[in-house]
């Protein structure tokens, strides 16, 4: 059986849907069901429940530590698993704009990481130290069902942007992320960057998905370019443009009232 921690959340729900969709038994671990699964020995445990708010790291570092590090340690102890698939973030790198400096084995200066990125790095170490076997996945930008925040979410839901529309992001849908991670599950002890193989500006994403940018409340220009060569040798990672086009196509096939 596969345990998915955070199965009702943005990323975890995509994993639960993908795994059940290919016929695998899935334990959907949420706040409501957590205690009922404690002690269960899973073949694989997907940890998709840690904090995803970068702002929390700056405003309340202790809360971010609890939700990013302590939560992960508790999960590894509470749910003994043959292999842990830990979902981390590309924010563990000092430079997320230069692929030459953010391959999986790139050196990291911990003191210059954001609090959020530092805690994500600590959580990775916790998993590698305490899990029986583990694979670490550093994820880039995402969009899909059950999203609650982020620039792609804001565009898709007609909300104001808080960065420049010309900011460049690596955007993949969560269903593609789930498939790629599951295909890489056998590489215990390895770390993979899993993100779109090429980025897109937010204005370009808006044009492809057919959702106009209605308001811009800030003009910070971000540029994400991450080295995904390692994962790309083993699985296909679409470009952001391909992912956005596929989403638009799927929405055109969705019956009225069931899109999003």
Compute the distance between CA of residue 168 and CA of residue 240 in angstroms, rounded to an integer.
10
* 163 inside domain: no
Domain contains 89:
yes
100 exposure class (CB count in 10 Å sphere: 0-12, 13-18, 19+): exposed
Does the pLDDT value for residue 52 go beyond 80?
yes
pLDDT at 251 over 90: no
Distance CA 14, CA 227 (A): 24
Instruction: Please indicate, yes or no, if residue 157 is contained in any of the structural domains.
Output: no
65 vs 70: CA distance, rounded Å: 6
In a domain, 221, yes or no: no
Q: What mean pLDDT do residues 142-170 have?
A: 94
Mean pLDDT of 109-117: 96
Q: What is the pLDDT of residue 254?
A: 60
- Give me the mean pLDDT over the 106-112 stretch: 95
pLDDT of residue 229: 98
Residue 203 included in any domain: no
pLDDT digits (tens, 9 = 90+) for 72-82: 999 999 999 99
Read off the tokens for 4.
């998915």
CATH code, domain with 123: 3.40.50.720
Residue 61 buriedness (CB in 10 A; 0-12 / 13-18 / 19+):
middle
Predicted confidence at residue 258, as pLDDT, reads: 45
Asked whether residue 244 is domain-assigned, the answer is no
The answer as to whether 90 is a domain residue is: yes
With pLDDT > 70 as the criterion, what percentage of the chain qualifies?
Answer: 97
In DSSP terms, 152 is beta-bridged to: none
Domain carrying residue 177: 2-147+172-196+226-237
Q: Tens digit of pLDDT for each residue in 206-234?
A: 999 999 998 998 889 999 999 999 999 99
Count of structural domains within the chain: 1
Q: In the chain, how many H helices and how many E strands?
A: 11, 10
Rounded to two decimals, the pTM is 0.94
């Amino acid at each position: 059986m596969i345990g998915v921690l955070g199965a009702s959340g943005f990323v975890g729900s995509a994993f639960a849907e993908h795994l059940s969709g290919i016929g695998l038994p899935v334990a959907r671990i949420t706040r409501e069901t957590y205690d009922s699964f404690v002690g269960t020995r899973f073949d694989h445990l997907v940890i998709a429940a840690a904090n995803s708010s970068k702002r929390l790291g700056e405003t309340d570092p202790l809360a971010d530590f609890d939700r990013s590090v302590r939560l992960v340690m508790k999960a590894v102890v509470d749910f003994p698993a043959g292999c842990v698939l830990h979902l981390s973030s590309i924010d563990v790198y000092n430079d997320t704009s230069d692929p030459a400096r953010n391959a999986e084995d790139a050196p990291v200066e911990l003191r210059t990481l954001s609090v959020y990125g530092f805690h994500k790095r600590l959580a990775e170490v916790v998993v590698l130290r305490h899990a029986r076997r583990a694979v670490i996945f550093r994820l880039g930008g995402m969009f899909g069902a059950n999203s609650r925040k982020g620039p792609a979410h804001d565009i898709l839901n007609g909300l104001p942007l808080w960065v420049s529309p010309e900011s460049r992001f690596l955007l993949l849908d969560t269903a593609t992320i789930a498939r790629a991670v599951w295909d890489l599950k056998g590489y215990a002890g390895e770390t993979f960057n899993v993100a779109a193989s090429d980025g897109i500006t937010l204005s370009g994403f808006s044009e492809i998905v057919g959702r106009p940018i209605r308001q811009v409340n800030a003009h910070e220009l971000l540029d994400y370019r991450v080295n995904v060569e390692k994962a790309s040798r083993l699985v296909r990672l679409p470009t952001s443009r391909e992912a956005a086009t596929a989403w638009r196509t799927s929405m055109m096939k969705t019956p009225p009232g069931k899109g999003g």
